[in-house]
Amino acid sequence: MLFFVDAMLGNIAKKLRLLGFDCEYFSDIDDSELLEKSKNENRTIISKDQNLIKRAEKINIQSIYISKEDEIKQFLEIREKTHLEFNDISGDVARCPKCNFTTSKIKKSEIINKIPEKILKYHDKFWKCDGCNQIYWEGTHIKNLQEFVSKIKYNI
Ligand SMILES: [Zn+2]
């Protein structure tokens, strides 16, 4: 399932990408362009903008209207509509939160001098974005996301 998250919901886009979902997001895109891209690429639109949702429905684009402010509740709204399971976070499935590209495992020996020594010392698994070359490891942001996902799971 592919998504297109509208400009107001950047946090959702980031989280969906880390969970491994292909998720387009631009902080400055106009509605017509967003609709056209979603239609061409068969993406489900996620938005808080009722107008945009209505326009999407008119041209048969799948969409999910987000009415809640709270992030957990927003993910529950997505789950309700898609029946997607949000599994535990793993660096192996995560996409780059910055650019939506896939990431690949990278050896420690290949990134010496590219990231702080402290991080090299305490972590063994590293991934590199296939698009922007950003290097990731299972640090605190992954732990926070794992907590977030377990909150979604137990919020049935
Ligand atoms: Zn990237």
pLDDT tens, the chain, 156 aa long: 999 999 999 999 999 999 999 999 999 999 999 999 999 999 999 999 999 999 999 999 999 999 999 999 999 999 999 988 887 777 888 999 999 999 999 999 999 888 899 999 988 889 999 999 999 988 777 778 888 888 888 875
Q: Where are the domains of the chain?
A: 3-82, 103-153
Residue 155 CA, ligand 1 centroid: distance in Å: 31
Q: Is the dihedral of CA 31, 35, 36, 38 positive or negative?
A: positive
Residue 12 CA, ligand 1 centroid: distance in Å: 16
Residues with CB under 5 Å of ion ligand 1 are 96, 98-99, 101, 129, 131-132, 134
CB-based contacts of 113, cutoff 8 Å, min separation 6 = none
pTM of the predicted protein model: 0.91
Residue 58 CA, ligand 1 centroid: distance in Å: 33
